[in-house]
Amino acid sequence: MRVLLIGGAGYIGSHVAIAMVEAGHDVVVVDDLSNSNAVAIARVRQITGRDVPLVIMDARNDDAVLAALAEEPPIDAIVLLAGLKSVAESVADPLRYYDVNIGAAISTLKVAAALSIRNVVFSSSATVYGSPADLPVNESSPTSLDLANPYGKTKRIIEEILADAAAADPTMKITILRYFNPVGAHTSALIGEDPQSAPTNLMPIVARAAAGTLPFVRVFGADYATPDGTGLRDYIDVNDLARGHVDAIIHAREGYEIFNLGTGIPVSVLEMISEFERAADRSIERRVEARRPGDVAVSVADPSKAEARWGWRAEKSIAESCRSYWAWQTANPAGYTSA
């Protein structure tokens, strides 16, 4: 198939691009590079030995996207990866999150309709589960628009929009992938996570502390009802996550379906820091601070549906993810600008 990756130059998108090409598909990337870098796509080409066109534009401008694709061969499927993703930032600037995230989704559906594309995959988030009463969460676990942060609300609203689109057109194949916490980097150390603004995810912060560019890791909350008092998360290696997108495209069915992509293994903030210390072979200072608004105590997936339906399961351990991320960090100390 020929797959359009909207937001495909980002951390997850660049790994999805490699997984798609290695599975035999052609890829076209649309990205405005607001939180990504064109070097990532150049390195995707280097790794795969294949041409991966990059169209630099805002995905919310559906007319411009359609014009850019007019001379391209037909697109068979779309993966919507574009969007702002910081929980803390969304609390501080909610209108920007609603504008960017929901706007990109609506424009994507307009592009799909104009090009008669029926296979659409959306990168959602485990944030939509809020603070679940029962763990691990499966795809039937309750979700709500009454969430603790606007980031999660945008993901839930987009899911509702996509559900309505599928209900209106029974030929649509819409797959929702609820990510848990992506970590790690490609084994080549050529592509990885390179946030353009100050990172809010744990692993890039820990990596920068290990590298000495940050003095310490701020641990937000050590008084949760968890074994060591810090938040528990389901950390999934980005390469495993990328494979999940390939399966979602291949196995798409008519209608609207949701799949969790996670490991089912909870890892605490302190455990993550300790594992990264082993990977980097150095100590990392940590300082406990108050909880952040919008954070939940525990978020762990039940990923059994994806395994039952697609034969997909996460394969890489948190130790492997820490090692690959450290290899990326040391080979690219300033991210893609190191090139």
Q: Which residues are catalytic, by number? A: 151
DSSP 137-173: B-TTS---S--SSHHHHHHHHHHHHHHHHHHH-TT-E
Q: Determine contact, residues 272/206, Cβ cutoff 8 Å.
A: yes
DSSP 254-301: SEEEEEEES-S-EEEHHHHHHHHHHHHTS---EEEEPPPTT--SEE-B
Q: How many CA atoms lie within 13 A of 111 on its CB side?
A: 32
Q: Of 93, 314, 293, 279, nearest to 203 (Cα)?
A: 279
Q: Of 120, 119, 139, 121, nearest to 129 (Cα)?
A: 139
